[in-house]
Amino acid sequence: MALELIETDITLLAVDAIVNAANESLLGGGGVDGAIHRRAGTALLAACRALPEVAPGVRCPTGDARITPGFALPARFVIHTVGPVWHGGSREEPERLAACYRNVLKLAEAQGVASIAFPAISAGVYGYPADAAARVAVNTVREAPWRPDRVLFCTFGPAMTQAYDRLL
């Protein structure tokens, strides 16, 4: 199936799984993380808090992913992942961002997810340049050994939409 692009609030999408651009604590934040927690309800925070810490204050290391139910969201699942903070590209940011997409797809496959929506991971607060973030997203999903029947890249503003549009 072709990769799709949609500009909307990801929390509105009635897909099997939406992806959350979280931080390593998995205890919520701003941006898409804040929007997802607001719409999912406090049960999502409780489910995240119940996930084991793999290091002090870290439930999901950068590049890794964790899955929870979607609770009050229209999506059945939330797959949380933590993108790299952009430091200029000299700290393996592309590889760490690509790992987010690969690890999310691994959990999606294990869960039998048929439709998934990705936000532009790391392209907000974490400062990853829009075009570079979109390129890693599209290339990694395109090259993945498996992906759900429906994959949507969900953008939240014209700049990011144009960045994906140039690639799709």
Where does this chain bind ligand APR (CB under 6 A)?
A: 9-11, 21-23, 29-35, 83, 119-126, 154, 156-157, 160
Q: What is the DSSP string of 16-41?
A: SEEEEE--TT-S--SHHHHHHHHHH-
User: Residue 96 Cβ, how far from ligand APR at the closest point, in Å?
Assistant: 12
Given the complex with ligand APR, which of 34 and 43 has the nearer CB atom? 34
Given the complex with ligand APR, which of 21 and 99 has the nearer CB atom? 21
User: Residue 110 Cβ, how far from ligand APR at the closest point, in Å?
Assistant: 23
The residue type of 111 is Q
User: Residue 35 Cβ, how far from ligand APR at the closest point, in Å?
Assistant: 4
Rounded CA-CA distance 122/128 in Å is 5
Q: Of 33, 64, 131, 149, which one is the catalytic site residue?
A: 33
For 14, the 3-state DSSP assignment is coil
Given the complex with ligand APR, which of 19 and 110 has the nearer CB atom? 19
In Å, what is the CA distance from 118 to each residue of 41, 71, 109? 20, 18, 15
Is 165 among the residues known to form the active site? no
SS3 content of the chain, % helix, strand, coil (to 5): 35, 20, 45
Which are the catalytic amino acids?
33
